[in-house]
Amino acid sequence: MPRIRVLDPSVIGKIRAGEVVDRPAAVAKELVENALDAGSTLISVHAASHPERLVRVQDDGLGMSREDALLALRRHATSKIESADDLASIRSLGFRGEALASIAEVSRLSLSTRSSDELTGTQVEALGGAVIQVSGVGRAVGTTVVVEDLFFNTPARLRFLKSREAEIRVLSRVVWNYALTYPRVHWKFSVEGREDTDLPEARDLVERWEVLYGRGPEDGSAEFDHEAAGVHVSGVLGAPEQARASRDHQTFAVNGRVVSSATLAAALRQGYGNLLPGDRYPLALVLIEIDPGQVDANVHPTKREVRFRDEARVFQVLRRAVEAAMRRYVPTGISFGDPGAVREPRGDLGYGGRAGDPSTVVTMPAPGTGTEILPASSLLLALDTAAVGGAADAREQERGDLEESLAEPEITIWQLHDRYLLAPIRGGMVIVDQHAAHERVLYEEARAHLFGGTGASQVLLFPRVVDLTPAEMDTLLLMEPHLRRLGYEASLFGERQVAVRGVPASIPEEAAIDSLKAVLASVDTLGEGGDPPEEHIAKSYACHAAVRSGQALSPVERRALVDRLFATSLPHGDPHGRPTYVRVSMEELDRRFGRR
C-alpha cells in the first residue's frame, strides 16, 4: 500500500490552489519543508550563483519507495492528509501535495530517493512536468531533489526575478529561518562561489541563535517561554539596543512552519513597548504552538502567511509574554553610576553591533608598546596629545565633572528633533550633537584599532557582495591590512566585486558596508593635508559609520552614546574640530530669564 494517495476532488476544492513557486527561494522552502516532514536530521541546501539555474536539497530522512517517488510528482498527491477533516489537524509542513508537481512543471527536476525498506533507490527525471526517465540508483536512505533551469518554459516569470544578489538573499533567509527554528537539525548551506555554512546540531534554540547572530545571553538576548489560553509561545528575543531598521531579523514559526503574520509582528513590537523607537525592529525568534484547528495556513498559496481563528487571543498571549521578558531591560538595570548594574548600553549603539563590549575601548594596547594595557583615557590621550595642547588638564577636569553628574541614576536623556540629545547635569545641562558625538567615539575606536590591537569583528553568516570600480579595487588591495584591523574581512570575489565576510562589531552591518564603500571611494583625497593613511581611514570611517542626524535613538541608545562620548579622550570635538556638545549652565539660563 503506497503512502501517497491522490486526493479526492472535493478536498482539492477546499485547498486554495495557487502559484506555489514564484522564485528560487520558494523552491528551497518547499524542498526544505519536505525534508523536515520526512524527519531528517541533516539537511543540505545548495544553490548556484544564479539560483534559478540550480537549487539542490539533500536530506537523510525517510525517503520514498519507487511507487511513491513517481506519485510524489503528481499534483495533489500527498502522504500527509487523506480527507478534508485532516486539514484541521495538520502537524506536517506540507499537505497539499502540489509543491513537487508545481516545481517540476516549470523546471528540470531530478529526484533521487531511497526508503529504508528498499535496497535500491529510485531516480526520476522530469522536464516541464513530464517524467522522462526512471531508473534505479544506489544511494543512502534519504532524498535529493535537484531543480535546474527554473522557469525555462515560463520566460515571463524568469524576467520577473530580481537581481541574482536579491534572489540569493531571499533564499538565504529561508535557510536562516528554518535553521533558527530547527536547532536539532544539522544544516549545511552553500552558494556557488561563496564560503559554505555548516551548522551542526545545536542543543537548543539559544545555542543556534548564538551561532547565527554571534551574540547570546551575555549580550542581552533573552529566552522566553509562556503558555496561556491554549497558546504556547517561546523563543529568543534580542536586547532592545540590538534592534534593526528592518524586519529582516524576525522569525515567526507556527507549529514548526515559518510564516509571516502581521498579528504576530505587531504583538512582538508592542511587547517591546517604548524600549524601542517606532522605526526599529527587534531581533526575534518566536515559536507558536497551537491546536492546528486554530490555524488556517491556507490563506496564502505558499503558506507564507497564517491566520488564526482567534487572532486577538494569540496577539494577547504573545504581547504579554514579550512584555514580561522585557522587564529585565527596564531602566533600573541601566543606572549610570552603579558599577554593579548591567553595563550593556556602554559598548553598543544598538544598530546591530555586538552589545556591551567596553573592553574593546578599555584594554586596547597602546601603540608601539606591544602588550601593555593602559586605561582608555590615558591611551587615547596619548594618541591625541598634539591636538589637546595645554587645555588638556582643564578639559579633563570638566569631563570628570560631567561624567560624575551624568552618573546620577535615573537621569533622562531627551532627544530633540532626532538630532540633539539633552541631559541635565549638575549646575545646568548638556546638549550633545548625536552625529558628531558618535563620530568622535568611532574615530577613537578606529584609531585604537589601526594603531593598536585589531578590533572585534562580527562575522556575517551570509557574506555581502559589494561592487567596486577598478580604482576602488586598487584602494582595497592597498588598504586591506588597515581595514582588517578595523574589523573588516573581505576577499576578492570576481573581478569587480569583494565578498565582505566580517564587519566591525560595534556598528550595524548596513553602516559598516556603507562606510567601507565611503572609505574606498575617498581615495582621491588620500594623503591630503599630510595625514597618514590610518588617520585618513579613521576619519572617513567614523564619519560614514556614525549615527546620522535625523535618526531616532531609543533611551538606551541615548545613554550609551553619551556614556561612550564621555569615555573618549577628547569628548569636546569631532575629528574635524566641530564641537560634540554644548554646556549650558544654570547661571546662563538664569541670566537669560532675568533672574539675576
Q: How far apart are CA 269 and CA 276, in angstroms?
A: 9
State the residue number with the nearest CB to ligand ADP. 94
Half-sphere exposure for 493 (CA within 13 Å, toward CB): 20
Counting residues that bind ligand ADP (by CB under 6 A) gives 25
Which of 45, 99, 239, 442 contacts ligand ADP by CB under 6 A? 99
- Decide if residue 95 touches ligand ADP (CB under 6 A): yes
Region near ligand ADP per CB under 6 A, out of 96-104, 455-463, 513-521, 548-556: 96-104
CA–CA distance, 155 with 153 (Å, rounded to integer): 6
Grid coordinates standing for 1? 500500500
Nearest-approach distance from CB 143 to Mg ion, in angstroms = 11
Residue 34 in the binding site for Mg ion (CB under 5 A): yes
Report if residue 104 touches ligand ADP, rule: CB under 6 A.
Answer: no
Q: Work out how close the CB of 57 gets to Mg ion at its nearest, in angstroms, rounded to a whole number.
A: 11
Cα–Cα distance for residue pair 575/532, rounded to 1 Å: 14
Is residue 255 a contact residue for ligand ADP (CB under 6 A)?
A: no
569 binds Mg ion per the rule CB under 5 A: no
CA dihedral sign of residues 337, 341, 346, 350: negative
Is 61 a binding residue for ligand ADP by CB under 6 A? The answer is yes
- Contact range with ligand ADP by CB under 6 A, out of 75-83, 222-230, 270-278, 459-467: 75-83
Distant-in-sequence, close-in-space partners of 176: CB < 8 Å, separation ≥ 6: 212, 251, 461, 462
95's contact among Mg ion, ligand ADP, none, with CB below 5 to 8 A by partner kind, is ligand ADP
Residue 476 interface partner, choices ligand ADP, Mg ion, none, CB cut-off 5-8 Å depending on type: none
Which helix H or strand E contains 432, and what residues bound it?
Answer: strand 428-433
> Do you know the residue count of the chain?
596
Q: Pattern of binders to ligand ADP over 530-569, x per CB under 6 A?
A: ----------------------------------------
Q: Which of 284, 288, 256 is nearest to 271 (CA)?
A: 284
Residues with Cβ within 8 Å of 177's Cβ and at least 6 positions away in sequence, in order, are 251, 253, 258
Report if residue 78 touches ligand ADP, rule: CB under 6 A: yes
Q: Does the footprint of ligand ADP cover residue 30 (CB under 6 A)?
A: yes
Sign of CA dihedral 315, 318, 322, 324: positive
Identify which of residues 72 and 175 has a Cβ nearer to ligand ADP in the complex: 72
Task: Please tell me whether residue 34 binds ligand ADP under the rule CB under 6 A.
Answer: yes
Looking up cell 539560483, which residue turns up? 51
Find the binder of ligand ADP among 15, 25, 27, 59 (CB under 6 A). Answer: 59
Cβ 174 to ligand ADP, closest distance in Å? Answer: 15
Instruction: Give the whole-angstrom CA distance, residue 304 versus residue 296.
Output: 11
Looking at 26, 35, 545, 567, which residue binds ligand ADP (CB under 6 A)?
35
User: 157, 167 in Cβ contact below 8 A?
Assistant: no
Q: Which of residues 140-199 bind ligand ADP (CB under 6 A)?
A: 143
55 touching ligand ADP, by CB under 6 A: no
Q: Does 145 bind Mg ion (CB under 5 A)?
A: no
Cβ-based nearer residue to Mg ion, 77 or 191: 77
SS3 360: helix
From the list 90, 99, 276, 486, which residue makes contact with Mg ion (rule: CB under 5 A)?
99
Q: Which of these segments, 89-97, 344-352, 457-465, 507-515, binds ligand ADP (CB under 6 A)? A: 89-97
- Sequence-ordered list of residues with C-beta below 8 angstroms from that of 254, at least 6 positions apart, any chain: 261, 288, 290, 295, 297, 306
Only one residue has cell 545545536, namely 202
* Shortest distance (Å) from residue 142 CB to Mg ion: 16
Smallest separation, CB 37 to ligand ADP (Å): 6
Q: Which is nearer to Mg ion, 14 or 578 (CB)?
A: 14
Report the relative pairing of strands 42-47 and 489-492 from DSSP bridges. unpaired
Q: Which of 25, 27, 29, 94 binds ligand ADP (CB under 6 A)?
A: 94
> What angle separates helix 376-388 from helix 434-451, to the nearest 10 degrees?
100
- Contacts with 283 (C-beta within 8 Å, 6 or more apart), sequence order: 213, 221, 237, 238, 242, 243, 244, 249, 250
Cα Rg of the chain (Å, integer):
28
Largest CA distance in the chain: 98
Closer to ligand ADP by CB, 100 or 237: give it.
100
**Residue 569 CB burial class (10 angstroms; 0-12, 13-18, ≥19):** buried
580 binds Mg ion per the rule CB under 5 A: no
Cα distance between residue 347 and residue 507, in whole Å = 10
Pick between residue 63 and residue 504 the one whose CB is nearest to ligand ADP.
Answer: 63
Interaction between residue 94 and Mg ion (CB under 5 A): yes
DSSP 456: P
User: Residue 150's binding partner, choosing from Mg ion, ligand ADP, none, with beta-carbon cut-off 5 to 8 A by kind?
Assistant: none
Work out how close the CB of 38 gets to ligand ADP at its nearest, in angstroms, rounded to a whole number. 3
> How many Å apart are CA 462 and CA 499, to the nearest integer?
10
Q: Which residues bind Mg ion (CB under 5 A)?
A: 34, 94, 99
Q: Which residues bind ligand ADP (CB under 6 A)?
A: 3-4, 30, 34-35, 38, 59, 61-64, 72, 77-80, 94-101, 143
